[in-house]
Amino acid sequence: MNAPVFKGWCPSALKPMESGDGFLVRIKPRMGTFTAGDVNGIAHAARLYGNGLVDLTNRGNVQIRGLSEKSLPLFSDWVVASGLAAPDPVQESIRNILVSPLGPDDPHAAFDSHHCARAVQAVLESSPAVHSLPDKFGIAVDAGGRLPLAGAEADIVVRADGLGCRIEVAGAQVARKVSFDAATSAVQGLLNAFTHWIDELEPDDPVRGRSRFADIVADRGEGWIFIEAGVAGSGVPVPEANDAMPQHMGFHPLDESGAGFFGMGAPFGQLDANGLDAIAGCADRHGDGTIRMTPWKSIILAGVFRKDANELAKASEQFGWIATDTDSRRGFVACSGRPGCRSALADTRALAARLAPCVSDSSGNGGGLVHVSGCPKGCAHPRAASTTVVATADGFDVVRNGSASDQAERMGISFEMVAALITAQAPDEGSPKPRPQSGPQSGPVS
């Protein structure tokens, strides 16, 4: 078997990535929000320029799959004309801002994440110096409230902390606490410090195109970073990450009037164009006409009232969406798999669908996440999972409490044995002695 090829960059709307089923492109919603018209347009583009399949990513983006060399320029013209991408490919590639989905509609949020994100986006658009940022570089704005960004990772995070914000950077154990008004200037200072550091590297240094904030922290130290960025404020420890996604499937009221939101999950992260059209219709009929994207491969319909919840639940059942927090599919993550990825050795989404009934609900399997990966890259979930199932040329490897590249507990076993392990009813028979596996690698973020 050939070693998998690890890519150190992410696609965008104007920077396609070749995959097993053609090219894929990524559309990034501004402030995490699409209108129903936007989503109808994306569905039409998926049919017209791609193969009709659409992925939801853990950066809250939408990927259209199956584009060809002939359809790519037509798609590029459409996505810019529709206002869903910046005309400049460089600006578009660095426009990676993840926000709390509800924004100003969350009465429990500490601040308006969408307002803050707009200010950060203005910095990205107006500062040519930051155009040298790697296209994997990401910023998150987490206002807490009803839907905090649990499990989401970024190079710079603005996070609610009492009566102010905590500015966190990847790789640092200590953050800086600043006022809400100082958050944007803090982000700008950190971006400037990072780009200055990049500029000091030799022009041909390969690190220039793939460094992340953790690299500058490791090189210069977290204290130096905040001083160089001019970020004042008290130092506060970064709490241990909470990877548990908030309960958000189905209807959730936000105030006493009965107004709230309705969450729908894409089974194993994929929908088709017909499903997108249906979601847009639901947003228009039963919500405020917007679709909010999350980092949990799900969508939020805002402005929904309790009286409309039953109709949305029926639509979810009809289209096979996840609409309850106990749906066992919610406890699974799967990569594109075959035929979408050339590195994959199995149809991971089909395997995940067969494995999901092995747990009674999303709290099954010891409450842990099951990651089904088509190869050792583990692109869909680079971190550790309770159980990771890796397709190989000899069957399946199973890693407990690790990532796809970690040493397996069982190797080359059948699908039936995998299912038995998932249900904690593994047959009492030996498996081949585990072989050493490669260490963690960086792959494209889903």
CA dist 112 and 199 (Å) reads: 34
Residue 438 confidence (pLDDT): 34
Per-residue pLDDT of the chain (446 residues; tens, 9 = 90+): 334 344 556 899 999 999 989 999 999 999 999 999 999 999 999 999 999 999 999 899 999 999 999 999 999 999 999 999 999 998 999 999 999 999 999 999 999 999 999 999 999 988 888 888 888 899 999 999 999 997 778 999 999 999 999 999 999 999 999 999 999 999 999 999 999 888 887 667 666 666 889 988 988 888 899 999 999 888 999 988 777 789 999 999 998 888 999 999 999 999 999 999 999 999 999 999 999 999 999 999 999 999 999 999 999 999 999 999 999 999 999 998 998 888 999 999 999 999 999 886 665 444 588 999 999 999 888 889 999 999 999 999 999 999 999 999 999 999 999 999 888 643 344 433 333 333 333 333 34
CB distance 374 to 344 below 8 Å: yes
Q: Identify the three-state secondary structure at position 399.
A: strand
CA dist 413 and 36 (Å) reads: 45
Helix axis angle, 183-199 to 222-229, nearest 10°: 110
Type of residue at 373: S
Nearest Cα neighbor of 405 from 374, 377, 430, 384 is: 377
Q: Which long-range contacts (CB under 8 A, 24 or more apart) does 423-429 make?
A: 423/358, 423/359, 424/365, 424/366
Nearest Cα neighbor of 30 from 102, 121, 91 is: 121
CA dist 223 and 217 (Å) reads: 9
* Cis peptide bond N-terminal to 339, omega within 30: yes
CA dist 415 and 351 (Å) reads: 8
Instruction: Print burial letters for 372-397: b (CB count within 10 Å at least 16), e (below 16).
Output: bbbbbbbbbbbebbbbbbbbbeebbb
CB distance 392 to 345 below 8 Å: yes
CA dist 118 and 2 (Å) reads: 44
Ordered alpha helix ranges (H), 182-235: 183-199, 213-220, 222-229
Which residues belong to CATH 3.30.413.10 in the chain? 330-422
CB distance 316 to 323 below 8 Å: yes
Residue 10 confidence (pLDDT): 83
Beta bridge partners of 165: 160, 178
330-422 falls under which CATH superfamily?
Sulfite Reductase Hemoprotein, domain 1 (3.30.413.10)
Nearest Cα neighbor of 358 from 328, 323, 326, 388 is: 328
Task: Name 181's Cβ contacts closer than 8 Å, sequence gap at least 6.
Answer: none
Provide CATH code, domain 17-237: 3.30.413
Tokens of 18: 């070749």
Owner of token pair 């050795």:
345
CA distance from start to end of the chain = 24
CB distance 41 to 79 below 8 Å: no
